[in-house]
Structure 1
Amino acid sequence: MHITKRFDRLLGIYFYLQSKPLVKAQELADKYEVSLRTIYRDIKSLEHAGIPIMGEAGYGYSLLNSYKIQPIRFNEQEALSFGVAEKLMNHYLDKEMAMHFGNALLKMKGVLRYSDKENVADLESKVLINKKKNFLNENVPAALATLFESMVKKRQIHLKYKSVENNLQERAIEVVGVFQEGPFWYFMAYCHLREAIRQFRLDRIEHIRLLDSKYTQELLPLNTYLEQNKKVETLQTIRIWVSKDFARFLQWERLHYGFQHEEEINNGVEMTFHTTHIEYFARWYMMFADEAQILEPETLKQSVVNLIQAALKKLD
């Protein structure tokens, strides 16, 4: 069993090296959940097997460009993953990116055994994923594809972007990276209008166009800016009580609002959240306010009161 597990890992490391221009040992150790020493031994084993690996510990590893072996067949579990992959990508990617992924997946399905193709087709008919409204920007179907192309080619983007106040602004940006948080896609970019790194939301793009102008900034990795934002923003603790019968309906959505832990108390469930956006949380809370109670903070109670008063005025 141990020998089989190591063989699978060695094979996996080879294909991982084949898929990327440079791979650090720590990246491999994290992926396969082993020590750095184990990865160093694995790399040596692959080299002894005649695989031309360039690089060294502390820098990174890569395969000789001209070296390739024929791809092996997918096993049954890998083949079945195709059954849901395309539907998931149709949900999480915009129209153009989903089309490219679908074309790539068709080529991958082409090498499956006939029995696996039958199983994948059967599984696909039994998986349904409902796309949420406003999750993606249907009016700009190539938005994600353009962002990705910008990052690869290091070319600036021209945006027509709707701000939080609904003002339409034109901006030239240099994209740092793209990420998903809660029910939306976001991207971080250097904004030439503000002369600073700013965060944007995909569904607020009115028009997007790739420019010929190259990047002018030395941009850091996306995670660096996300961590900086976390340090600037102050996390606030929220505690609410929800009736036991209703609490089960919040199991999925609460994860998007900073859920930390829960405790059964007073024939209900006390939930604790950490958030930087009290008003955002208040709008979600209003969906089940008749079955819940705010324990803290007072600012959340006031935000809910303000929302209720604003709604009542519109009913007059």
Structure 2
Amino acid sequence: MNRIDRLTAILTHLQSKRTVRASELAARFEVSLRTIYRDVRSLEESGVPVIGEAGQGYSLVEGYRLPPIMFSREEALAMLVAEKLMEKALGEQTSKHFNNALIKIKAVLKSTEKDLLVEVQDTIKVLKSSSSPNMNQSSKAFQFMLQAISDKNVVATTYVTFDPEQITERELEPVGMFHSYEQWYLMAFCRMRRDYRTFRLDRFSKFRFTDISYSTAKHPSLQSYLDKVAGEQKLHQIVLEVPDGSLKYLANSKYNNGFVSEEKVGERTVMTFMNSSIEGFVRWVISLGDMVVIKKPTILRVRLSELLNEIKQMQE
């Protein structure tokens, strides 16, 4: 990226947030802090009202805006792909808001880019995933919790736990949401348990706003919470041996089960996983049938034998 393009991109980035740190700009554009300082000084000299606050970062004077910036051909195509993905990933309700935002963005495209999007529109498809039956419920909860986080509003919910399956009434202070293992999760402070908990969005059967507000200042950030959970979680190292002909059947699902690495040994591949749930992992292994051999840990082999016996007894 040449300097002129970088200066324009820095100005666009400054408009995207209230305050932007120099280190953030340096990381994004892969340049030194000294280069960022020089670039910002150049923007100031050209008349851009940049405000620099020690220890805070850079911001633009309130009300200053650039005229619409044109997108490149590659950026326009990337936007189309993102639109296709979001239609399925977000569900109907949130996808509608996303598409409305994209229409406004597309309005500033050049005629050639608009024609290009029309031409390739039907050449890209995103098929529904196996989790699509829960998508509508997740989407409604996603939009609701997003508003709760924005308004800092305590929500009253009815939640169905997984194991054992129980219906509980809870008042939550939503902190953040994340996507993992093909599901959306909410991290929130549970007033009933007086502690932070993680909830699957599709397991909320009811949710409503209360008249109670809360302060986010007393809560940890979503990232710090996830880091803490990862540090406390007991992970099991699991090693499987897979014949080469069976590797293709694990290609997608391995990443949802803690895949770490693999090593070719003759006509077989040794795969290493790190997973916190022996029970969940062994049920995935059962679905693979005779395509894998458990090398370790012993506890996984023992639980597999127990589960197979339980299945056999159920069929007798």
- Choose from 42, 47, 56 the match for 1:45: 42
Task: Give the equivalent residue in structure 2 for 1:161.
Answer: 159
Native 8 Å contact 2:152 2:215 kept in 1: no
CA–CA separation in structure 2 for the residues paired with 1:133 and 1:226: 26
Q: Does 1:241 align with 2:241?
A: yes
The match for 2:140 among 134, 142, 145 is 142
Deviates more, 1:273-282 or 1:147-156: 273-282
Take 1:279 and 1:119, find their aligned partners in 2: how far apart are those partners?
49
Assess if the C-alpha contact under 8 Å between 1:76 and 1:116 holds in 2. yes
How many residues in Structure 1 have an aligned counterpart in Structure 2?
A: 313
Question: Of residues 37, 49, 58 in structure 1, which corresponds to 2:55?
Answer: 58
Matched, 1:76 2:73: yes
Kept in 2, the 8 Å contact 1:182–1:256? The answer is yes
Consecutive unaligned residues of structure 2, counting only runs of 5 or more, are none
Q: Which residue of 2 aligns with 1:173?
A: 172
Question: Residues 247-258 of structure 1: matches in 2 within 5 Å?
Answer: 247-258=247-258
Aligned to 1:133: 130
Please tell me whether the aligned partners of residues 25 and 58 of structure 1 are also in contact (alpha carbons under 8 angstroms).
no
Aligned counterpart, 1:306 = 306
Amino acid at match of 2:81: V
Letter in 2 for 1:177: G
Once the two structures are TM-superposed, the CA of residue 289 in structure 1 deviates from its matched residue by 3.0
C-alpha distance in 1, partners of 2:97/2:224? Answer: 29
Matches within 5 A, 1:190-229: 190-215=189-214, 218-229=218-229
Inter-partner Cα distance in structure 2 for 1:269 and 1:126: 36
The amino acid across from 1:148 in the alignment is L
The question of 1:28 aligning with 2:38 is answered: no
> What is aligned with 2:3?
6
| Aligned-residue RMSD, C-alpha | 1.8
Aligned partner letter, 1:274: M
Helix, strand or coil: the match of 1:128?
Answer: coil
TM-score (normalised: structure 2): 0.93
Q: Which amino acid aligns with 1:25?
A: A
Displacement, 1:224? 0.6
- Are the equivalent residues in 2 in contact too, given 1:156–1:173 (CA < 8 A)? yes
User: What CA distance in whole angstroms lies between the structure 2 residues aligned with 1:154 and 1:308?
Assistant: 48
Counterpart residue identity of residue 98, structure 1: S
Give, in whole Å, the separation in 2 of the partners of 1:313 and 1:122. 58
Residues 138, 201 of structure 2: 8 Å contact kept: no
Equivalent residue for 2:104? 107
- With 29-38 and 167-176 compared, the bigger mean Cα shift is at 29-38
What is the alpha-carbon distance in structure 2 between the residues aligned to residue 59 and residue 182 of structure 1?
Answer: 36
Displacement after TM superposition at 1:199 (Å): 0.6
1:17 aligned to which of 14, 33, 39: 14
**Where do 5+ consecutive residues of structure 1 fail to align?**
none
Give the Å deviation of 1:36: 2.5
Cα offset, 1:282, TM superposition? 1.6
Contact persistence 1:150–1:157 (CA under 8 A): yes
Residue in 1 that maps onto 2:277: 277
Scaled by the length of structure 1, the TM-score of the pair is 0.93
Query: Which whole-Å CA distance do the structure 2 matches of 1:300 and 1:181 have between them?
Result: 23
Paired amino acid for 1:192: R
Letter in 2 for 1:283: R
How many angstroms does 1:38 deviate by? 2.5
1:21 aligns to what SS in structure 2?
Answer: coil
- Are 1:9 and 1:32, in contact at CA under 8 Å, matched by a contact in 2? yes
